[in-house]
């Protein structure tokens, strides 16, 4: 099984890959550029090749995550810059050999028209992907809102993908904290979740897991990540059932947990490998 965590590119993209290798991680995630900016970034193609070759040599899987301001339902004045930024993220991630770029599901834009947010999402995805023809995928991530909030169900994720003009360029990333916060997974409904995911072909396009515990109970709607083995409401037994479920056995589990609450990421990855690796 593949375990890893989100890593900084402060020492460069190759530096992040080497950091993953030093902690015996077989997967990692990174921000392709400043996480607080939509500015288009130039990058070094030679460094990209070195990083890609290093990951291939050591069997390390990677994904990128779009900067925080990225939204698939942006205000009109931010739509062009968001499209350019997303294409830049895809270009960087593809050059460094990453499987995909995680993008948060959109949010409502008009309370009077619940479908408007979905329509804008599909429009934005089509505009980006009409200009993209490389292997790196956009990975739609489930939302952590209250049950019924936009982006909290498998049906929505699958339907948005299927309604896009380029579904083969879209995959999914499942965040366990978000799923718990939205009641998509609540600790008691794993079999129902697995059956629904299979019926809707969700797992066929699931590329990675954001492996996070939750600081709040199921259905709280609160996106507060906790470490896997302490201070969280998802129990070790519930995680054990999830990790061992058939659709997840060969997927990368990537931590986005706190690194300053009693355990470092390197130690947490070591615990995951010891228990499930």
φ, ψ for residue 74, nearest 5 deg:
-75, 165
* DSSP of 54-76: HHHHHT-EEEEE--TT--SS--G
pLDDT value at residue 53 = 98
> What sign results for the dihedral spanned by CA atoms 35, 37, 40, 41?
negative
Which pLDDT value is given to residue 230?
87
pLDDT for res 231:
84
Sequence-separated (6 or more) residues with CB below 8 Å from residue 133: none
Distance, CA of 22 to CA of 5 (rounded, Å): 12
pLDDT of residue 137: 99
Look up the pTM and report it. 0.97
The residues of the chain scoring below 70 in pLDDT are none
Map tokens 């939302």 to a residue.
143
Cα 106 from Cα 117, distance rounded (Å): 7
Q: How many other CB atoms are found less than 10 A from the CB of residue 187?
A: 16
Spacing of C-alpha 203 from chain mean position: 14
Q: Single out the residue of 262, 113, 46 nearest to residue 271, CA to CA.
A: 262
Please name which of 148, 140, 157, 146 lies closest in space to residue 216, comparing C-alpha atoms.
146
Q: Which domains does the chain have, with CATH numbers?
A: 2-276 (3.20.20.150)
Which residues fall within 8 angstroms of residue 94, CB to CB, at 6 or more apart? 134, 135, 136
C-beta of residue 169 within 8 angstroms of C-beta of residue 136: no
Q: What is the C-alpha separation between 31 and 268, in angstroms, rounded?
A: 20
Q: How far apart are the first and last CA of the chain?
A: 5
Task: Name every residue whose Cβ is closer than 8 Å to that of residue 129 and which is 6 or more positions away in sequence.
Answer: 138, 164, 165, 166, 169, 170
H/E element holding 48? Answer: helix 45-58
């Amino acid at each position: 099984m593949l375990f890893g965590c989100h890593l900084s590119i402060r020492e460069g993209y190759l530096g992040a890959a080497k950091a993953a290798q030093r902690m015996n991680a077989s997967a990692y995630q990174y921000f392709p550029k400043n996480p607080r900016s939509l500015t288009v970034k130039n990058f070094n193609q030679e460094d990209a090749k070195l990083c890609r070759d290093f990951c291939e040599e050591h069997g390390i899987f990677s994904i990128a995550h779009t900067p925080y301001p990225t939204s698939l339902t942006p205000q009109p004045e931010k739509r062009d810059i968001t499209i350019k930024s997303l294409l830049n993220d895809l270009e960087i991630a593809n050059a460094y050999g990453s499987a995909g770029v995680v993008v948060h599901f959109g949010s409502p834009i008009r309370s009077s028209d619940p479908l408007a947010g979905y329509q804008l999402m599909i429009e934005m995805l089509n505009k980006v992907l009409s200009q993209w023809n490389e292997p790196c995928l956009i990975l739609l991530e489930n939302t952590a809102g209250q049950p019924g909030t936009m982006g909290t169900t498998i049906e929505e994720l699958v339907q948005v993908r299927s309604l896009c003009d380029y579904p083969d360029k879209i995959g999914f990333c499942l965040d366990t904290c978000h799923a718990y916060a939205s009641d998509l997974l609540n600790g008691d409904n794993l079999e129902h979740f697995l059956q629904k995911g299979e019926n809707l072909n969700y797992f066929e396009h699931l590329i990675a897991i954001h492996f996070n515990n939750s600081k709040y109970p199921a259905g709280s709607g609160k996106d507060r990540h906790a470490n896997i083995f302490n201070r969280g409401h998802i129990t070790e037994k519930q995680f054990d059932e999830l990790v061992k479920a058939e659709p997840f056995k060969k997927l990368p589990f990537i931590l986005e947990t706190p690194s300053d609450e009693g355990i470092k990421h390197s130690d947490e990855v070591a615990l995951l490998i010891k228990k499930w690796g």
